[in-house]
Every structure is written in C-alpha cells, then in structure tokens.
A and B are shown apart, each in its own frame.
Chain A
C-alpha cells in the first residue's frame, strides 16, 4: 500500500527535555559532539495513489491532530 510519512518535531525555540536527556545519555556512553532533538514519525498507509489531493488532506490531518503547531512543526512526505 502506498505510504505517506508525517514527521513532527518540536519547534527549534521550544525546549526539548526528551532530546536533552537522550543527548546526555549519548555523552555518557562516549558518543561525543552530538546534540539530539526528538520528534515523532507517523506512517500513513493510503488507499489508492498518493495524489497531491491526498498529500493536501494528510497535511490537514497533521495540522488538526498529529501536530500541535503551537509547539511543533511538521512535514509531509510521500514515502
């Protein structure tokens, strides 16, 4: 089935406590010089072809539910 991916990330200006904790853990494990920000990935399987209309619809779904645009940004990509 054709798949569309929505990536949701905390906005750059918003503190990311999870990413910060992961960054700290990586440093303790010896992975230096890495800074992590943690987001979410949604894989959406769609019936039929991935048309511009389908992408538009998924964009609306992301705006309405998958992301909270007060604190997060998102992008929609055909997989």
Chain B
C-alpha cells in the first residue's frame, strides 16, 4: 500500500485532517514528527496547515529548520512528491523548495471561505488527475496568504507552466492571482487552500480535494 507521511510541527493544526484524507483516499497515513530526521520510508509527504511555531518571525521560517526538513528537502530534490498546504506552502517557500513568499492578506483580514480555483497545470504529481483549465472549489483559511515574488520569478513561473492554481476571485492580493505553484520538476506543490478539508460531502460543498490524493496515488502507481 502506498504510504503518505504527514509532518506534525509544533502548532500544526490540520495534520490529523490530512492524515484522515490520506486514509479516505485509500493510502496508508504515516504520522511524521518535526523533531526526527526520519521520514519512515514514505512514498510522499504532506506538510499540513496550521500555525507552526505560532507564526513567530515569519510563517514557516522556524519550522523550515526543524530536523525533519533536511530529510524532506533531500527527498524532494530526489523527486519525491511533496505537498505543502497553507502553512506547509509557507514552509516550502522558506525552505526554497518553492519560489516566492507569502505576506499578510492585502485587506489585513483572516479569510475563511470556499474558494473557486482554476487548475492551470496537470503536469505535477499532485494534479495529474485533474483536467487542465478545470474549475474547482477548495476551502481557504488564512491571514497571510498573499503570494508575492519578484517580477523575474513570476515571469519564470508563468513561462515554465509552474503556476498550478489560480484564484477566480483573488481574495488576498496574491500576485497574478496565484493560489498554488510547483517546482521545475513538478514533484513539489504548494497551495494556500486546503484540499484535505474537501474530502467528504457531509463537511464540504465539493469533494474536489480527493483528486489531489488520486493524482499522487496514480503517479506513484504508474512510476512503480
């Protein structure tokens, strides 16, 4: 069975939802710990949402230097699928696995709402089960989700097809309406919305989150 690890940092909030989402998707959920440098031989890794280290200094800045991250960075550079959700996306940016950074929402408010997104590329390990240009709804909840990068980086992301999700109705001032991006190789994806909350009809208006997990499972099976 495919094993997907979810890292718990001090202050992680959605690690258990992410573990549950992995189980609902039919994979084995493996809890990973920030203080250990072991990733327990998993096939893919999720950095979950939350407020690791209380968002002190900058969101994700302190978590990025936790022992597990050296192993995560190493695995990501070797091609392992890594998904960063919200705070996880911020950690991936701080770790330079993804480019750019998140600042406070342009309107200064914490935003919690269902967010319409367009899938801009399916050439990643976490979006290959979508259709290019498909419009999906995933819940968004954050205070610092305003994606920013230099003009040069934005141009590069656009030219290389590394913008994975775009907001249809930009909630936070993100440059180029960017909700999620990938690295050059397409194995590391980060996004601010929370696919792990869109897994079941009882608790979410769509089950579009399931496709993230289907994507990575399809990818891993095809590669095996």
Q: Which A residues are within 8 Å of any B CB, using their own CB?
A: 10, 14-18, 20-21, 65-66, 68, 70-71
The one of B61, B104, B106 in contact with A68, judged by C-beta atoms closer than 8 angstroms, is B61
| Interchain CB contact under 8 A, A15 and B108 | no
| Interchain CB contact under 8 A, A70 and B101 | yes
Interface string of B83-106 (1 = CB under 8 A from A): 000000000011000011101111
| Interchain CB contact under 8 A, B103 and A21 | no
| Interchain CB contact under 8 A, A70 and B58 | no
Tell me the total A-B contact number using a CB cutoff of 8 A: 39
Using CB atoms, name the residue of chain A closest to B106.
Answer: A17
A-B contact pairs, 5 of them (CB 8 A): A15-B148, A17-B106, A17-B173, A18-B104, A68-B94
Which residues in A have their C-beta under 8 angstroms from that of B148?
Answer: 14-15, 70-71
Q: How far is the CB of A27 from chain B (nearest CB, A)?
A: 15
Q: How far is the CB of A7 from chain B (nearest CB, A)?
A: 15
User: What is the CA–CA distance of A24 and B94 in the complex, to the nearest angstrom?
Assistant: 30
Dominant secondary structure at the B interface: loop
Q: Which B residues are within 8 Å of any A CB, using their own CB?
A: 57-58, 61, 65, 93-94, 99-101, 103-108, 146, 148-150, 173
| Interchain CB contact under 8 A, B146 and A17 | yes
A21 touching B173 in the complex, CB below 8 Å, given contacts A15-B148, A68-B58, A68-B101 = no
Which residues in A have their C-beta under 8 angstroms from that of B100?
Answer: 70
Q: How far is the CB of B151 from chain A (nearest CB, A)?
A: 8
User: What is the CA–CA distance of A17 and B94 in the complex, to the nearest angstrom?
Assistant: 20
Which residues in A have their C-beta under 8 angstroms from that of B173?
Answer: 15, 17
Which residues in B have their C-beta under 8 angstroms from that of A18?
Answer: 104, 108
| Interchain CB contact under 8 A, A65 and B65 | yes
Using CB atoms, name the residue of chain B closest to A40.
Answer: B57
User: What is the CA–CA distance of A17 and B146 in the complex, to the nearest angstrom?
Assistant: 10
Q: How far is the CB of B55 from chain A (nearest CB, A)?
A: 13
User: What is the CA–CA distance of A68 and B58 in the complex, to the nearest angstrom?
Assistant: 8
| Interchain CB contact under 8 A, B105 and A71 | no
